[in-house]
Structure 1
Amino acid sequence: MENVQYAEELVREFLVFRGFTNTLQAYEAELSTEIGRNFEVDKILDLVFSVYIPKYQLDRLLSIFSFLKQCFTSPADTVLYTALLKLEQSVLRYYVVNALKSGRQEKVIEFFSVGGSHLMQKREDWIAWFAIPYIKNPSLDPQFRMYFSKEWSDTLVLSFRNFLSGIFNGTRIPALMKISTEKNMIKCLKSDIKQLNNKLSELQALLEVKEVELSLLRRNDHSINSGHKNLLKITTAGSSVGGQAFSGVYEESSTSSTTVQGVNSQTLSSAKSRAEKLCDSSRMSNAGK
C-alpha cells in the first residue's frame, strides 16, 4: 500500500510539473472510483458486491468490467474473454435480482433503459429479462427462481473470486511501482552495510587483541624453551665431571685392592712357613724322646 501511495504522488507531481491540469482532474476522478484496488481480490469483490450493487452505481459496475477487459483480456484470447463476458452477464443479473429483492423496480427499469440496446446486441438470452420488472413474484417463476437462491449468489461470488485470482496471479508489477520498492530496498541495503561495517570494526579490534595475546604467549614459550636448554647443558656438563671423578676413585680403589691382596699373600706364606717349622720341630722332639 505504501508503494502505491508513493507511485500516486509521483504521478501527481509529474502532471502538475507538466501543467496537465485536465489530466490531473481525470486522474483524481479515476482514483476516487478505486478500480482495480491494487489487484487485491477481496477488495474488488467488496467493491462490487458491497458498494456498486447495493448502491445501484451501474456506471461504475460497468466500468470495472471495462477495465478488466482492456487490461487483462483480449478477443484473441477467446477462452479468457468468453469467461469474463459470462461473468459480467451473471453480475448484471445479480444487480437486477438485488434491486427486485429490495423492492426497487424503478432501478430495474432504469437498468434496461440505459443498457437495453447493448444487452440485446450482445446477448439474445436477455430478452426474457426485459419482462422481469413486471412479473409479480419473479422469485417463484421457474425461469428466474434459480437466480434468487443463495446457492446461486454464493457460486457467483466464488467464480468471480477464482477468475480474479487467476488473472492477477503473475501480473507484472508496473515500473512506476518498482521505484518505491527499489528505494526501500536501497535503504535496507544501506542499513545492512552500516551494521556489517560496525561488526567488521569490532572483529578487527578483537583480532588485534588476540594478536597481542598470541605474541605474549610466543615470547613466554621462547623463554621457557631457552631455560630448558640451559638447564640441559648444565646437567650434561655436571655428569661428565662426575664420571671422571668416579673413574679416578675406581682406579684408586683397584690399586688398593691389589696391594691388599699382595700383603695377604705374603702373610699367608709366612704363616705357612712358621707352621711348617713347628711341624718339623715337633717331629724332631718326638724322635729324641
Structure 2
Amino acid sequence: MSEQAIDYDRMAEGFDTVLPLMRPVAERLIERTPGLVPGAFVLDVASGTGEPGLTLAERHPGVRLLGIDTSEVFVGIARRKAAQRGLAEADVRYAVMNAERLELDDDSVDVVVSRFGMLSFSDPRAEVREAARVLRPGGTISIATWDVGSANTLTHAAMTALGDLLPALFAGFAERLEQYATPGLRESWLVEGGLHDVTTELFGWQVDFPDEDALWRLVSGPAMLGAVLGQIDDRPPGEPERNETVSFTMATVRAAFGDQVSGHRQPDGSYRIPYACRMLSATA
C-alpha cells in the first residue's frame, strides 16, 4: 500500500466518536491546569473539533479562549459547536494556525493547554519555543501526550493487526511517537525552550465497550483507521486477489485485531480497555 496523506476532512466528520474515549484526559488536564481565572487568555493548541477548550470555557466562565488547529475542517466544526453551546465569540474563538508559528504577540497568553497535539508532531522544539514566547511571565503550560505506543491500546492493536499493510506515513508517525516517549525527552524540550518548574505524571484510565463489534466500529471508523482500512483488498473468499501486493482481507485484519484485544475481554463478553498518557506542565 502506498503512502498517503491523512484525509483530515474525512477524519474530522467522525472525530467526535472518539471524544468519549479521551474524556478522562480532558477532565484531568483541566484539573491540573492553574491560572484559569476570569480574564485569563487561554490558548488550546491542536484543538480539533473544540476540546478540551469548550469544556474548559464552560467550567471557568470569564476566561478568554482561542483554540487553534491546522485543519480548516476541524476549526469549522469547533466554531459551530461553540455557537450551539451559546458561547460568545468574543470569549471563545477558533482559528486556523500553526503551533510552530503562532500569530500572537509576545507575552500575550496566560495559559497554554494541549491534548494529544503538542510534542507529538513534526517540530516539538519549535512548538515549545513559540509557547514560551507568547506566555506571560508566570504563565503556565499543560500538555497531555501519548506515552509509549502500546499505552494507546486500540490504535496500537489495529496497527499491529495491519502489519505490513500499514502505510509508511502511519508507520513513521508511530515510530516517531515511540521515540518521543523516551523518558525525560519531552521534559528536556520544555526546559530547552525556556520553561521551568517542569512536572510530569503518567495518567491511566479505562474505557468499557459492550462487545468486540463496538471496538471494531470505533477503530475502523473515519476518525481512526478508516482511511487505511478502506484500501484493503476486501474480496469474497475464493476469488483471486485483485492486487497481489495485498495478502490480507479485511476479515483477516479484523481477526488479527480481535487477537490483539482478547486479553481485555471480560467474563460477560464486554471489553475493558486500559489507556495511559503522559501529563506535563511547566511555567514561563
TM-score by length of 1: 0.23
- Which structure: larger Rg? 1
More strand by percentage: 2
More helix by percentage: 1
